[in-house]
């Protein structure tokens, strides 16, 4: 699993008893790493600064994950694009969760962008990852009404925490 921050989606997969072989973060000292440690999951930081290039970082990260038996990668809140080299290690086996109804509002500020655009419905997308910014094939989507705005973030996260484990469970059983 790939993370960068809070790791609430990681927690949802842990709570859903999905077999998480390893957790990789591009940032040190994040809550997601504490969650992995508490669940006894091997975790490691692969920061860009510690590597000569993005390609080198992604190659090391893919090798480390593969050595731990990972054959399916889930990115949740992972805030870096993956290089072709990483994608080639896990062809058609990397999924991401995104807080909008893609292709609407790709990028890191999807919820704010939806609010600024004044849409009445936004949502959650689980999709395959490709080299673009939130451009891969959609696997599952669920709409979320924007109103009441005060609880939108919370409601989107609740949908993510239900939808992502569901989709991952289905995809894993199709692969194994
Ligand atoms: C989620 O809203 C996800 O859709 C977005 O970043 C957030 C990550 O949350 N890409 P967490 O780290 O899983 O708590």
159 backbone dihedrals φ, ψ, rounded to 5°: -65, -45
The atom number, within ligand 1, closest to the CA of 79 reads 10
Ligand 1 pocket, residue 5 CB under 6 Å? yes
Mean pLDDT over all residues of the chain? 95
The β-bridge relationship of strands 138-145 and 121-128 is antiparallel
Ligand 1 pocket, residue 76 CB under 6 Å? yes
Residues of the chain with pLDDT below 70 are 175-176
CA atoms of 92 and 87, how far apart (whole Å): 8
Q: What is the 10 CA–ligand 1 centroid distance (Å)?
A: 9
Ligand 1 pocket, residue 8 CB under 6 Å? yes
What is the per-residue pLDDT for 173?
85
Ligand 1 pocket, residue 141 CB under 6 Å? no
98 is known as an active-site residue? yes
Q: What is the 92 CA–ligand 1 centroid distance (Å)?
A: 21
Query: Quick one: which H or E segment has residue 94?
Result: strand 94-98
What is the per-residue pLDDT for 48?
92
């Amino acid at each position: 699993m790939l993370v960068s921050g809070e790791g609430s989606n990681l927690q949802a997969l842990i709570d859903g008893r999905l077999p998480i072989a390893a957790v990789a973060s591009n940032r040190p000292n994040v809550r997601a790493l504490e969650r992995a440690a508490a669940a006894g999951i091997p975790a490691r930081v692969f920061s860009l600064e510690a590597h000569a290039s993005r390609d080198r970082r992604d190659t090391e990260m893919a090798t480390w994950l593969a050595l731990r038996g990972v054959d399916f990668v889930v990115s949740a809140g992972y805030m870096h694009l993956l290089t072709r080299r990483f994608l080639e290690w896990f062809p058609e086996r990397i999924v991401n969760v995104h807080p909008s109804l893609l292709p609407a509002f790709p990028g890191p500020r999807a919820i704010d962008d939806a609010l600024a655009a004044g849409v009445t419905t936004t949502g959650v997308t689980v999709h395959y990852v490709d080299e673009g910014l939130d451009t891969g094939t959609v696997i599952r989507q669920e709409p979320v009404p924007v109103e009441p705005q005060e609880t939108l973030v919370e409601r989107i996260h609740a949908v993510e925490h239900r939808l992502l484990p569901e989709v991952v469970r289905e995809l894993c059983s199709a692969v194994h």
